[in-house]
Amino acid sequence: MSTITIEAVYALPDEQMLFRQSVPEGATVAQAIKLCGILEKYPEIDLTANKLGIFGKLSRADTVLRDRDRIEIYRPLLADPKEVRRKRAGQGKGMKKGDSGVVET
């Protein structure tokens, strides 16, 4: 049986992990994630909830992989970017991008 080489990446705020693995040709994203061992190291990953991608393009768990594909497992956003922009606009033009609005005394 022929194999292909893939990478699976998962990033936390203070840690980024890359798993390189040979998988059978015809393997899907979900199968490769299970084979590479990333779920054992990061049990919080839920393949039914986390979004998945290949080289930055959203993909489904049943997408068949090609040699040298890089699977990316995305974490949920902590804040909705649209809501953050709405709040910033509602607080006036005094706030700049990246300004938390907190004033230290």
Cα separation, 82 vs 62, in Å, equals: 30
- Inform me whether the pLDDT recorded for 25 exceeds 80: yes
pLDDT per residue over 43-84, tens digit each?
999 988 899 999 999 999 999 999 999 999 998 766 666 777
CA-based torsion, 47, 39, 66, 19: positive or negative:
positive
Residue 18 lies in a domain: yes
**Residue range 18-26: average pLDDT?**
95
pTM for this prediction: 0.70
Q: What is the pLDDT of residue 103?
A: 45
Q: What is the pLDDT of residue 82?
A: 75
Cα separation, 67 vs 65, in Å, equals: 7
Q: What is the pLDDT of residue 95?
A: 52
Residue 28 lies in a domain: yes
**Residue range 88-95: average pLDDT?**
68
Residue 87 lies in a domain: no
Hey, how many other C-beta atoms are within 10 angstroms of the C-beta on 65? 22
- Which pairs count as long-range contacts for 9-14, CB under 8 Å and 24+ apart, including other chains? 9/70, 9/71, 9/72, 9/73, 10/38, 10/42, 10/45, 10/72, 10/73, 10/75, 11/75, 12/75
Residue 95 lies in a domain: no
Question: In whole numbers, what is the pLDDT of the chain averaged over residues?
Answer: 85
**Residue range 36-41: average pLDDT?**
92
Instruction: Print the domain residue range for 17.
Output: 3-74
